[in-house]
Amino acid sequence: MSAVVFAHHQLTPTERLRDAGWIAFVALILGIPLIGLTTVDVGGRLAVDTRFGLLAMAVVAAFGGRLVLRWAVDHLKGRKLARQRAAAGNAGGRAQQVVNVLGWLALGASVALPIVFSDNRYVVDTATTVLIYVMLGWGLNVVVGLAGLLDLGYVAFYAVGAYSYALLSTQYGWSFWEALPVSGALAAGFGILLGYPILRLRGDYLAIVTLGFGEIIRVILVNWTEFSGGPNGISSIPRPSFFGLEFTRRPAEGSDSFASFFGLEFSAMHRLIFLYYLILVLALLTHVFVSRLRKLPVGRAWEALREDEIACKAMGMNTTNIKLSAFAIGAMLGGFAGVFFAARQGFISPESFTFTESAIILAIVVLGGMGSQMGVVLAATLLVLIPEFGRNFAEYRMLLFGMAMVLIMVWRPGGLLAHREPTLRLSADGKAARGGA
């Protein structure tokens, strides 16, 4: 069958026809016994009948199908090649511009969203969830995307943050704003605690140990009932206030609530919208923080570590500290998200911190394109919205979710936005604006 063409050059029409002809010929040969001849029952005895009309149709279908398939494959390959050439040619300046514009649009849209949907509880709630995942994605992005350390137990830090706030507020009466930094620091501490024993591990081994760590935290939360409330979790967690103004219908004697202070009629939406803006601000701060870090020596060191650990050591970098800092900062951001989560839900239990959560957050980072901040936003939006839209499909929604992930990875193996922005830009005269290296 050497005449079937596998060549990568652009095919001429004759070559295409010949190629399809061969396939049709093969179909004919195979088709004679499979389709062309059939046995029929004639008065209790088997006889052979012919179905050459059907066979002819099958052969024509094979011929046409091969033509179309070949053309489609070539077309896609050509486009991919063209894209790769374009990407290699300029280091993605155009792509970066598009991403930047996209980012500002997304920011505008997210600021406007609760104003437009001010009486749609469902939309604001879902958008808040998206933002939590964006923040978690950005946090994990430091560990996985930048430092290249595969962490399958990220949800543990989310849990540490959430439980820290829940306990500090319900047991010791701390406010949201007091508990936020402390919980973040606690989560960072756990990050270092996890980081130490696994400094020497990489890749699959690292993934397994972090997976175990995530489970250990969850199992402790389930079983240490006196401390964490066990499977029942912790409820009546205080909600954050707006600079001391509570979101209640009836404020306590002698104090104002948010609604009464601003002379508004009480509405449950106020709190939801406030929570939405709160996570938006937290997420934006996270973004600014991580983008800054990326341009500082520590951020560069993370990326260098992802690329080649031995080379890093040979450059005199202390890889131990670099790894621990990545774990600590990633964990801290996860902790912040956890605090917000607990404050928003008012109730937490170990069920919110299962491996599935870790998997989803990791999927957001990978689908977004490892290390790309905008990619995380896109992926988080998709991964939260797909199951929401899928609600009509009831039990098939997770199937839909899985399929979407597979399709994204097939379509964009490097992630939605795989482009990496250099940490320094060249000015017009070709001289680099130096970061703090």
Partner 1 sequence: MMLSMEGVHAHYGHIHALRGIDVAVQVGEIVTLIGANGAGKSTLMMSLFGSPKASAGRIVFDGEDITRLGTHEIARRGIALVPEGRRIFARMTVLENLQMGAVHADPANYDADIARVYAMFPILQEREAQRAGTLSGGEQQMLAIGRALMSRPKLLLLDEPSLGLAPIYIRRIFQIVRELNRDHGMTILLVEQNANQALRVAHRGYVLQHGEITLAGSGAELLASPEVRAAYLEGGHG
* Nearest of 121, 182, 202 to residue 335 by alpha carbon: 182
User: Contact letters (x/-) for partner 1, 236-275, by CB under 8 A?
Assistant: ----------------------------------------
* Nearest of 71, 82, 64 to residue 13 by alpha carbon: 71
What are the structure tokens assigned to 244, written together?
A: 């001391």
> 296 vs 386, which CB is nearer to partner 1?
296
What are the structure tokens assigned to 392, written together?
A: 């009509």
> 49 vs 307, which CB is nearer to partner 1?
307
> 357 vs 421, which CB is nearer to partner 1?
421
d(CA 261, CA 245): 8
CB of 104 to partner 1, least distance (A): 24
User: Taking CB under 8 A as the rule, does residue 86 contact partner 1?
Assistant: no
Q: Which of 170, 345, 354, 423 binds partner 1 (CB under 8 A)?
A: 423
User: Contact letters (x/-) for partner 1, 361-400, by CB under 8 A?
Assistant: ----------------------------------------
Residue 50 phi/psi, 5° resolution?
-110, 145
* Nearest of 342, 362, 366 to residue 352 by alpha carbon: 342
CB of 240 to partner 1, least distance (A): 40
Which part of the chain contacts partner 1 (CB under 8 A), choosing from 219-227, 286-294, 339-347, 415-423? Answer: 415-423
Which part of the chain contacts partner 1 (CB under 8 A), choosing from 67-75, 113-121, 338-346, 421-429? Answer: 421-429
CB of 53 to partner 1, least distance (A): 56
Residue 256 phi/psi, 5° resolution?
-100, 150
User: Contact letters (x/-) for partner 1, 30-69, by CB under 8 A?
Assistant: ----------------------------------------
CB of 422 to partner 1, least distance (A): 5
* Nearest of 359, 373, 302 to residue 134 by alpha carbon: 373
How many amino acids of this chain bind partner 1 (CB under 8 A)? Answer: 30
CB of 305 to partner 1, least distance (A): 9
> 74 vs 309, which CB is nearer to partner 1?
309
User: Taking CB under 8 A as the rule, does residue 433 contact partner 1?
Assistant: no
CB of 408 to partner 1, least distance (A): 21
User: Taking CB under 8 A as the rule, does residue 212 contact partner 1?
Assistant: no
CB of 310 to partner 1, least distance (A): 6
> 271 vs 294, which CB is nearer to partner 1?
294
d(CA 269, CA 66): 58
CB of 68 to partner 1, least distance (A): 35
> 391 vs 434, which CB is nearer to partner 1?
434
CB of 314 to partner 1, least distance (A): 4
CB of 96 to partner 1, least distance (A): 12
8 Å CB contact between 239 and 76: no
Q: Which of 91, 101, 105, 216 binds partner 1 (CB under 8 A)?
A: 91
Q: HSE-up of 75 (CA within 13 Å, CB side)?
A: 6
User: Contact letters (x/-) for partner 1, 292-331, by CB under 8 A?
Assistant: -----x--xx-xx-xxx-xxxxxxxxxx------------
User: Taking CB under 8 A as the rule, does residue 88 contact partner 1?
Assistant: yes
Q: Measuring CA to CA, how many Å separate 338 from each of 159, 262, 398?
A: 6, 30, 24
CB of 304 to partner 1, least distance (A): 5
List residues near partner 1 by CB under 8 A.
88, 91, 297, 300-301, 303-304, 306-308, 310-319, 420, 422-424, 426, 430, 432, 434-435, 437
